[in-house]
A and B are shown apart, each in its own frame.
Chain A
Amino acid sequence: MGPHHPSMHGVLRLVVVPQGENVIDCKPILGYLHRGMEKIAENRTIVQYLPYVTRWDYLATMFTEAVTVNAPEKLANIQIPERASYIRIIMLELSRVASHLLWLGPFLADIGAQTPFFYIFREREMIYDLFEVATGMRMMHNYFRIGGVAADLPYGWVDKCLDFCQYCLPKIYEYERLITRNPIFLKRVKGVGFISRQEAINWGLSGPCLRASGVQWDLRKIDHYECYDKIDWQIKWQTEGDSLARYLVRIDEMKESINIIQQALKLLPGGPYENLEGRRIAQEKGRMNWNSFNYQFVGKKSSPTVKLPRQEHYVRVEAPKGELGVFLIGDDSVFPWRFKIRPPGFANLQILPQLLKGMKLADIMTILGSIDIIMGEVDR
């Protein structure tokens, strides 16, 4: 099954050995979308590199930016203002809803249902509009910065976003009514691609694949990053471990994301949206004096070159596909020494050959779709 695929996974080549209708073995061949992102990162400053990172996972773009910006912040110990933290949470959860919606469409299109593929674009266009007004771009927003976000939310954005949440939640219930108890869907998906709990941990899965197998592992609760602790929300998980369970986990996550967005919008504080002093203070090693000659330069956005200290750190984010991590080794210069990207799709795709043994040819697309991979981040 060649690299050019009619569904949205990207360029993945699967060499399948069938015997009649059964699959005996399968070998995925990657590398068709390898662009050398890690090598490029060694020659760009973080702000120069931010437009590249949205091209890893091009459907959930805020997560890639969040993890790229979190890495130097943790290295150089830069605090971010609370308003920026809440804005980041809202953008991340909107991005999660968008990513799960665009997973849902092609997954059902692979199974054979064409209708949801058109319906998801309704909500996704609304999310695109919200992003465009706030960040300037529909998909590849260059929005996060070290120390906060690039620009504040425009006037009226909060109300529009609340309107969107009120519109979107009944639509998700509509998808559930349309799909979840559909007997054709259930026959295609129930019991297909079973992953047990221990296998899921062994193979290094993360995200909805892990949560559907009974492990309550959500990095937002575990790492306590940003302001997720101040918002009241639950981890959604299932125990069955088949494709139906993964579908249910993602639908529940969408509902929970809308809940998080609504709470965060109500809790949004005032204040600055970016820590402009972060860059200076990290270099000056001490408090700035008011009235000193240097202080007048603090509030100005000078060329944003943060020197990364000579340390290494691994930061991770709960992306919609799984655990997206960046391992950053700084070298006391503006360019990182090593920027290793840990994409969730790369690890989640490893389990595919084992899941496909003994399945029918038609189940390949069901299982591949339910694992939810994007080749942009798998190949980088």
Chain B
Amino acid sequence: MTYNRLESFSIVLLVPKWIHRVQSKKQESTFYVTPDHPYEILLFFRCHINTRFDVSIDICGVNCPSQEQRLRVLYQLPTTQYNSCIRIKIGVNEITIVSSVISISPSAGRWEREVWDTSGVHFSNYLGLCRILTDYGFEGHPLRKDFPLSGYVEVRYNDLEKCVVYELIEMAQEFCYFDLASPWQA
């Protein structure tokens, strides 16, 4: 059973308050949800008999600086009972706090920590929301578009002090930007 437009609309009719918009493309439906209710809508999707989306396989943070809601959080939910997969999108800005879904599906724990670490979206009701991939005292959120690819500090071992020190980055080579224009293209 794959989700098509008719079934997506029937879900929207059940919870009209929470869903902005539905988009259905290539047999995958995307639901745009208001940012205050991810916990409720994930609980609904998990428990409702027609939509047993019981795993949260991935939570992803996207940074779109040109739009008003600069950060988005995407939840990918497949279902083990029916063979389909939906996506839930929430648009937030840098200071909005999103409620955590860790009590519904424990697998969301690490993913939310990663979204906090890389994009800066804060999750409430989560004890232990701390940096997971970056260094111990890291400042900044790497996957935002305003964070440069090479970062701000570099690390090296200082022989005099016999320890690792952090210094501002010093690039020996210019940042190479690949501008590939093919001669075959019109």
* Residue positions of A touching B, CB distance < 8 A: 30-31, 34, 36, 38-40, 42-45, 48, 74, 201-206, 215, 217, 222, 283, 297, 300, 302-303, 305, 311-314, 323, 325, 327, 329, 334, 337-338, 340, 342, 346-347, 349-350, 379-380
Quick check: B87 and A202 within 8 Å, CB to CB?
no
With A222-B83, A334-B180, A350-B110 known as contacts, the answer to whether A342 contacts B58 (CB < 8 A) is yes
Asked whether B129 is an interface residue with its Cβ less than 8 Å from the other chain, the reply is no
- Residues of chain A contacted by B60 (CB below 8 angstroms): 327, 338, 340
In the complex, what residue of chain A is closest to B176 when comparing beta carbons?
A43
Asked whether B55 is an interface residue with its Cβ less than 8 Å from the other chain, the reply is yes
| Alpha-carbon gap, A346 to B114, bound state (A) | 10
Quick check: A303 and B134 within 8 Å, CB to CB?
no
In the complex, what residue of chain B is closest to A36 when comparing beta carbons?
B142
Quick check: A201 and B54 within 8 Å, CB to CB?
yes
With A201-B55, A302-B184, A327-B60 known as contacts, the answer to whether A379 contacts B133 (CB < 8 A) is yes
Per the CB 8 Å criterion, the residue count for chain B at the interface is: 42
* Residue positions of B touching A, CB distance < 8 A: 25-26, 28, 30, 54-58, 60, 62-64, 74, 76, 80, 83, 85, 87, 105-107, 109-110, 114, 118, 131-135, 142-143, 147, 149, 177-178, 180, 182-185
- Cross-chain pairs A/B with CB under 8 angstroms, 14 sampled: A31-B133, A202-B105, A203-B107, A204-B57, A204-B107, A283-B185, A303-B180, A314-B87, A327-B60, A327-B74, A338-B62, A342-B58, A347-B107, A379-B133
- Residues of chain A contacted by B183 (CB below 8 angstroms): 302
Q: CB < 8 Å: which of B80, B87, B132, B142 contacts A39? A: B142
Q: CB < 8 Å: which of B55, B62, B80 contacts A329? A: B62
Quick check: A31 and B26 within 8 Å, CB to CB?
no
Quick check: B28 and A40 within 8 Å, CB to CB?
no
Q: CB < 8 Å: which of B80, B85, B134 contacts A201? A: B80
- Residues of chain B contacted by A215 (CB below 8 angstroms): 80
In the complex, what residue of chain B is closest to A349 when comparing beta carbons?
B110
| Alpha-carbon gap, A39 to B134, bound state (A) | 13
In the complex, what residue of chain B is closest to A204 when comparing beta carbons?
B107
| Alpha-carbon gap, A202 to B118, bound state (A) | 24
| Alpha-carbon gap, A202 to B55, bound state (A) | 6
In the complex, what residue of chain B is closest to A38 when comparing beta carbons?
B143
- Shortest B172–chain A CB gap in Å is 18
Quick check: B149 and A43 within 8 Å, CB to CB?
yes
- Residues of chain A contacted by B57 (CB below 8 angstroms): 204, 206, 323, 325, 342, 347
Quick check: A204 and B56 within 8 Å, CB to CB?
yes
Quick check: B133 and A350 within 8 Å, CB to CB?
no
With A43-B149, A201-B54, A325-B58 known as contacts, the answer to whether A31 contacts B106 (CB < 8 A) is no
In the complex, what residue of chain B is closest to A222 when comparing beta carbons?
B83
- Residues of chain A contacted by B64 (CB below 8 angstroms): 337
Q: CB < 8 Å: which of A311, A325, A337 contacts B25? A: A311
Quick check: B184 and A31 within 8 Å, CB to CB?
no
Q: Which 9 A-B residue pairings sit nearest by Cβ, starting from the closest?
A: A204-B107, A340-B60, A34-B133, A342-B58, A302-B184, A31-B133, A297-B184, A303-B182, A203-B107
Known: A40-B149, A347-B57. 5 other contacts (CB 8 A): A39-B142, A201-B55, A204-B107, A327-B60, A338-B62
- Shortest B121–chain A CB gap in Å is 14
Q: CB < 8 Å: which of A74, A222, A350, A379 contacts B109? A: A350
- Residues of chain B contacted by A312 (CB below 8 angstroms): 30
